[in-house]
Amino acid sequence: MLFAASFSINAQTPIEKQYIGQWTITTVDVPTGDMTVPLTISYKNGKLQGVLTVRETEKVTLHDIRTTDDGYLTAYIEAPETTVAYEMVIDKKNPDIVKGSMMGIISFDGVRVKPKK
């Protein structure tokens, strides 16, 4: 009996594919006021990669980006003297909306940026 199987270790999961793209993330209820930043999530070299553009000249790389079976995305940012944990999840009714938090303290909302036609 001959049995053949084929698989790819670096294949994207369906959950990962949902997050790929450009997002506009807005922190809410922060003492210094709401802040809006662009977030880009891509898939390269077999893993998710992310970059937040904090200012026009400052980009922050997200590290150790992972998704969970229940749809959450977690990532980390190295900041001076600490590591900031991010967690977000895509809205089940609208895949172009995310909600999340930084370190479980600062909440944010996000909207997928649609390509211009």
Evaluate whether 2 touches 20 at the Cβ level (below 8 Å).
Answer: no
The number of folded domains in the chain is 1
Q: Where in the sequence is the domain holding 38, given as residue range(s)?
A: 14-112
Q: Pairing between strand 106-112 and 21-28?
A: antiparallel
CA nearest neighbour of 51 among 99, 116, 89, 60:
60
Residues 87-104 pLDDT 10s: 999 998 999 999 999 888
Residue 86 carries which DSSP code? E
CATH number at residue 86: 2.40.128.120
pLDDT at residue 10 in the model: 45
pLDDT at residue 29 in the model: 78
With a cut of 50, list the residues of the chain below it in pLDDT. Answer: 1-10
The answer as to whether 1 is a domain residue is no
The answer as to whether 7 is a domain residue is no
User: Residues in the chain, how many?
Assistant: 117
pLDDT at residue 84 in the model: 86
The answer as to whether 45 is a domain residue is yes
**Token pair for 92:** 């089940």
The answer as to whether 76 is a domain residue is yes
The model carries a pTM of 0.81
The answer as to whether 67 is a domain residue is yes
The answer as to whether 36 is a domain residue is yes
